[in-house]
């Protein structure tokens, strides 16, 4: 973790400008540029890209931009600008894909459960649009299933976290013995143990259901795509080939 590289600097500046824009314009920017589920009327084709520049609060963007500087700069120095950008956005798109696939499974599982319980399509659409439904359905379908269906359909994904997780995985592969520390656990841990520990936490909360409103499957998606690219490049000695 040394100097900030040029591409990382530009990405941080763009994210900061976008964050200030959301503070000024409010919900309008979030509705246009956050990543909504693709069957939601608010979904737009550009959102898989633009959601990477939206953040849900100051701490959200602060942690992401710190990680981008700390772990992204060494990768850009090793790979070069074009290769780093390709990796960054590929991991971000991969995160959006996995997040969407998990949403699709959970939404349609809930949809099928409601249909089997006797709700028709118009009643389900009313539930998705307003959150209102006949509570008698709770005799056949759990409230948690309905809430998950509603939340996944209507809650957009925001942030560069998916791309950041890809960067974390690549950093761990390229610099496995660098010692890192968690803020709440000030004990040096080598990157090859530190990064899997963080991802394991996301897998746990993704499977059990997160109480924090965090898109854990997007994090996992970014990590998966980041690992595939970084591992392939390392195995085939592409890490030494810069794309300037």
Q: What are 148-201's pLDDT values in tens digits? A: 999 999 999 999 999 999 999 999 999 988 887 665 556 778 888 888 888 887
Q: At what angle do helices 161-174 and 191-208 cross, to 10 degrees?
A: 150
> Taking 60 as the threshold, does the pLDDT of residue 41 lie above it?
yes
pLDDT at 7: 97
Q: In the structure encoding, which two tokens stand for residue 11, read together?
A: 């990405």
CB 81 within 8 A of CB 243: yes
Q: In the prediction, which pLDDT does 138 show? A: 92
**Among the listed residues 140, 143, 14, the one whose alpha carbon sits nearest the alpha carbon of residue 88:** 14
pLDDT level of residue 241 (50, 70, 90 thresholds): low
């Amino acid at each position: 973790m040394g100097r900030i590289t040029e591409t990382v600097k530009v990405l941080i500046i763009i994210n900061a400008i976008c964050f200030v824009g959301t503070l000024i314009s409010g919900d309008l920017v979030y509705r246009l540029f956050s990543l909504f589920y693709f069957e939601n009327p608010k979904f737009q084709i550009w959102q898989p890209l633009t959601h990477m520049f939206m953040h849900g609060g100051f701490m959200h963007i602060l942690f992401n931009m710190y990680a981008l500087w700390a772990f992204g700069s060494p990768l850009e120095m090793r790979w070069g600008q074009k290769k780093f950008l390709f990796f960054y956005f590929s991991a971000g798109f991969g995160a959006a894909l996995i997040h969407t696939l998990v949403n699709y499974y959970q939404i349609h599982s809930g949809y099928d459960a409601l249909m089997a319980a006797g709700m028709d399509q118009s009643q389900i659409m009313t539930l998705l649009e307003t959150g209102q439904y006949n509570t008698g359905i709770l005799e056949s379908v759990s409230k948690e299933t309905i809430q998950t269906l509603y939340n996944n359909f209507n809650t957009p994904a925001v942030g560069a976290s998916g791309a950041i997780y890809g960067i974390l995985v690549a950093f761990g592969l390229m610099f496995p013995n660098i010692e890192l520390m968690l803020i709440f656990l000030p004990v040096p841990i080598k990157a090859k143990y530190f990064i899997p520990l963080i991802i394991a936490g996301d897998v746990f909360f993704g499977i059990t259901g997160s109480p924090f409103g965090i898109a854990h499957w997007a994090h996992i998606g970014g990590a998966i795509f980041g690992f595939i690219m970084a591992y392939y490049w390392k195995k085939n000695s592409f890490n030494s080939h810069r794309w300037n």
